[in-house]
């Protein structure tokens, strides 16, 4: 019975109910949108890093640090049998060494990165290198990313002097020609990198069978003198960055819910104030204070539930449209964050459910708080509209 | 001797107005029987509405006691007073106090739903009353679509639908013109006869005097007269 009355009263509020519902629904949509956007961002970053560099983790020498180029030549190793026997779609051998190029007579320190051509674990657009044989021609064929090409002012077909040091410390140099300039989604393996065939780099540096790390599809257990770094460890810096941003998004989340809560609280206060005479009449008709509190709380709860339904319909429309256009983040190409030009939402049902439960609970709570006054209301004053001043 | 429906025993009601105490009722004692059709008469501020509110369990006396069929209202909690009103009292207000979001039918149905009745089971009961108060053609309308007289008819039907022992009507004709007042009073007298519910009005409308069987005069919170009609229909 109370539910029926509450529904009638809720509908009877007209424009107030519509606005209240809309504010709550938009809050829920904004909260889910915000969370899903971060999910989309994080998802895209991690997927791109995994696809182009990290795979399922790396086996490397203990204490190897990619940020310390002077160490690189001291931290190479011969691929152990346990990994070498893995099929090409489960391992990718990589050798990184310091080098220099001299485009337009400028000195440009680079990372020479050789990658096995038979691997299919890491997805890189290095087809031009694959087309070449293991023999190095007159010039060393290299592929660079678009970012690197822009910085070094290099184009496809350009020749540039490339210098490096071999295993024995002998400095050597040869002409390198740019076989291809490719878009690489991950700026970390574009900016400052020269891609070579692994067999070419090994020949040039007299390091047969050596690698700096082997990317694998998953942990293969302990291997003597090597350590396994998981995806999380390899992406820790960027995951920390996103997590840091997520904290700000949580503050936004709290502010949004707080504002919506204030809105509902305000409406409820106004409701009680404006409907004192009705409350007095309901008391005279025999409604108990407890029933009245339940009635008004139920009205607030119904508003929250209707808001969820509206949010579901409106959210589906808004999110469907958004997924067709995405959020343009092409400006982030200049950073080291591996993202596409557009971010799409990644909606996780559990997070939507959790946000909905939190919002509905808060709405019910803020509906109930002002309603408690009713239980102490004097019916004779309420009937005259003077119970709450 | 029969138990009175209502017994008001030495009731005093004092209100706090700012820093002053205002005594609205001074030592009022009265007995009201089943099926009474009576009024509290007096000027504004004489204590009529206060007395009705006390009898209806909407307010509590400062001292003295009110008994309903020998049960003291003073001993009832807020919850129990709500049940007392729900089961025994029908209220009619000067400003009708209808629930604006409900239709005529739903307004009259409301007290029955509150009593735990299911709508299909009491539909006929509600429609009978709608017919008795002459609102069959208005049954789906909302209060905002009705005239003052029609609203008061809805309020009367709402007060009577649960067959209460007592109907308390606070200035029921104050917002009505002469013709509507006449119809409403006629209607209430007929219903008093049909339903055997006691009716108590608070009024300063002299028209009401012509209909009631007993008239209690109040002035400054004190009973100034208590007249009943004799067999010849005259007050004595």
Which tens digits make up the pLDDT trace of B36-66?
999 999 998 899 999 999 999 999 999 999 9
Q: How far is B216 from chain A (nearest CA, A)?
A: 22
Return the SS3 of B170: strand
Which chain B residues touch A if contact means CB-CB below 8 Å?
53, 56, 58-59, 78-79, 82-87, 89, 91, 93, 95, 97, 99-102, 106, 110-111, 113-116, 158
The pLDDT value recorded for residue A58 is: 96
User: What is the model's pTM?
Assistant: 0.73
Chain A CB contacts of B99 under 8 Å are 278, 281
Across the A:B interface, residue pairs with CB atoms under 8 Å apart total 72
The pLDDT value recorded for residue A246 is: 79
**Residue B235 DSSP one-character state:** B
- b/e sequence A106-116, b meaning 16+ C-beta within 10 Å: eebebbbbbbb
Return the SS3 of A286: coil
The pLDDT value recorded for residue A296 is: 86
The pLDDT value recorded for residue B191 is: 83
What number of other Cβ atoms are within 10 A of residue B163's Cβ? 12
Which ranges of chain A have pLDDT less than 50? none
> Is B113 within 8 Å of A4 when comparing Cβ atoms?
yes
What is the per-residue DSSP string for A349-371? HHHHHHHHHHHHHHHHHHHHHHH
Chain segment B74-124, per-residue pLDDT in tens: 989 999 999 999 999 999 998 899 998 899 999 999 999 988 899 899 999
The pLDDT value recorded for residue A389 is: 67
Which of A1, A9, A284 minimises the CB distance to B85? A284
Higher-confidence residue of B29 and A245: namely: B29
The pLDDT value recorded for residue A150 is: 92
The pLDDT value recorded for residue A375 is: 78
Residue A31's closest CA among A361, A255, A310? Answer: A255
When pLDDT is averaged across residues B225-234 and rounded to a whole number, the result is: 83
pLDDT at B180 over 90: no
- Helix ranges (H only) for chain A are 2-12, 15-49, 81-84, 127-130, 146-152, 198-205, 231-234, 236-274, 276-284, 289-325, 349-371, 379-383
Mutation site, A286, A287, A376, interface B, largest B CB count within 10 A: A286
The pLDDT value recorded for residue B207 is: 79
């Amino acid at each position: 019975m109370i539910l029926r009355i509450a529904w009638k009263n809720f509908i009877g509020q007209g424009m107030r109910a519509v606005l209240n519902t809309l504010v709550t629904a938009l809050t829920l949509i904004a909260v889910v949108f915000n969370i899903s956007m971060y999910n989309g961002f994080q998802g895209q970053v991690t997927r791109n890093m995994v696809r182009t560099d990290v795979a399922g983790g790396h086996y490397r020498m203990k204490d190897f640090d990619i940020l310390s180029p002077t160490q690189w030549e001291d931290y190479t190793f011969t691929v152990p049998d346990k990994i070498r026997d893995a099929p090409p779609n489960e391992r990718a051998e990589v050798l990184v060494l310091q080098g220099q190029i001299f485009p337009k007579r400028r000195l440009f320190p680079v990372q020479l990165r050789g990658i096995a051509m038979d691997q299919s674990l890491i997805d890189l657009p290095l087809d031009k290198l694959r087309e070449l044989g293991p023999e190095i021609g007159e010039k060393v064929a290299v592929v660079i990313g678009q970012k690197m090409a822009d910085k070094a002012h290099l184009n496809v077909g350009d020749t540039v002097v490339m210098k490096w040091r071999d295993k024995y410390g002998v400095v050597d140099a040869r002409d390198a020609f740019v076989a291809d300039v490719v878009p690489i989604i991950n700026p970390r393996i574009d900016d400052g990198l020269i891609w070579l065939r692994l067999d070419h780099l090994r020949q040039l540096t007299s390091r047969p069978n050596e690698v700096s790390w082997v990317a694998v599809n998953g942990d293969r257990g302990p291997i003597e003198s090597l350590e396994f770094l998981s995806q999380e460890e390899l992406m820790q810096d960027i995951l920390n960055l996103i997590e840091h941003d997520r904290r700000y998004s949580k503050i936004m989340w709290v502010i949004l819910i707080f504002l919506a809560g204030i809105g509902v609280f305000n409406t409820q206060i106004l409701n009680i104030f404006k409907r004192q005479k009705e409350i007095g009449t309901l008391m005279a008709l025999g409604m108990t204070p407890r029933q009245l509190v339940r009635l008004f709380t139920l009205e607030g709860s119904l508003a929250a539930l209707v808001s969820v339904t509206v949010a579901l319909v409106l959210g589906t429309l808004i999110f469907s449209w958004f997924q067709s256009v995405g959020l343009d983040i092409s400006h982030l190409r200049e950073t080291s964050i591996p993202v596409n030009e557009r971010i799409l939402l990644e909606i996780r049902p559990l997070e939507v459910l959790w946000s909905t439960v939190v919002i509905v609970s808060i709405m019910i709570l803020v509906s109930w708080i002002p309603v408690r006054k009713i239980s102490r209301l004097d019916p004779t004053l309420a009937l005259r509209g003077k119970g709450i001043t | 001797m029969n138990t009175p429906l209502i017994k008001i025993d030495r009731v005093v009601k004092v209100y706090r107005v700012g820093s002053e105490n205002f005594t609205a009722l001074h030592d009022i004692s009265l007995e009201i029987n089943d099926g009474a059709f009576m009024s509290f008469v007096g000027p504004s501020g004489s204590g009529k509405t206060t007395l009705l509110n006390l009898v209806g369990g909407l307010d509590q006396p400062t001292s003295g006691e009110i008994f309903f069929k020998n049960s003291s209202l003073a001993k009832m909690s807020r919850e129990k007073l709500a049940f007392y009103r729900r089961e025994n009292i029908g209220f009619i207000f000067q400003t009708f106090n209808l629930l604006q979001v409900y239709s005529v039918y739903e307004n009259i149905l409301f007290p029955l739903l509150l009593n735990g009745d299911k709508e299909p089971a009491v539909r006929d009961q509600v429609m009978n009353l709608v017919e008795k108060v002459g609102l069959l053609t208005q049954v789906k309308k909302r209060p905002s679509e009705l005239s003052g007289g029609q609203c008061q008819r809805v309020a009367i039907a709402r007060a009577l639908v649960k067959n209460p022992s007592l109907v308390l009507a606070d200035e029921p004709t104050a917002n009505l013109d002469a013709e509507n007042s006449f119809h409403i009073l006629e209607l209430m007298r007929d219903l008093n006869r049909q339903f055997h519910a006691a009716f108590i009005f608070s009024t300063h409308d002299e028209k009401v005097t012509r209909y009631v069987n007993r008239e209690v005069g109040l002035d400054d919170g004190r009973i100034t007269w208590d007249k009943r009609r004799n067999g010849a229909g005259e007050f004595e």
